[in-house]
Amino acid sequence: MSMRTKVQHKNHIMKLALILLSLSIATVLGTSPIQSPPHPCQCWPEWNPVLEGADYHCKDSRSEKTFHCNIEIPPICTCKQNGSLVKLPLGEVNCVGGGHNDYDNTNCETTPEWEAWFNKNPQYRLYH
């Protein structure tokens, strides 16, 4: 094999290698999902970001209840009604109930989970 033939052979091998490399990269890029950045308003399960004016908030898909975005999920609030314990839906942070129910207490039953949550989110604690 002449020197010129050897050089041509190496050039063909290099071209083939570049083509295979290009196809491999294209395949990987073509099958990898492009991830969009997370929504600026992260909500709890079954709560969805809703734009109202210039601000987002989270809205419960089962009710009209709303909450601020990017807040850690609170514990379930347990209140007393006529001496019996009643668990309120996610998003309720006190037993005031907005006039719908009369509970024996105004605050959720005190637990270490609630204390930790209120320490991180003091703006939601009832003050009397």
128 shares a domain with 94:
yes
78 neighbors 109 (Cβ within 8 angstroms): yes
| Count of domains observed in the chain | 3
Q: What is the pLDDT of residues 29-58, one digit of tens each?
A: 555 566 666 778 999 999 999 998 889 999
80 shares a domain with 66:
no
116 shares a domain with 85:
yes
Task: Determine the residue type at 34.
Answer: I
96 shares a domain with 79:
yes
126 shares a domain with 80:
yes
Triad 11, 17, 18: Cα angle to 5°:
90
Q: What is the pTM of this model?
A: 0.64
HSE of 96, CA atoms in CB hemisphere, 13 A: 9
67 shares a domain with 19:
no
Range of the domain at 59: 36-71
**CB atoms inside a 10 Å sphere around CB 74:** 20
Q: What is the pLDDT of residues 98-117, one digit of tens each?
A: 555 688 889 999 999 999 99
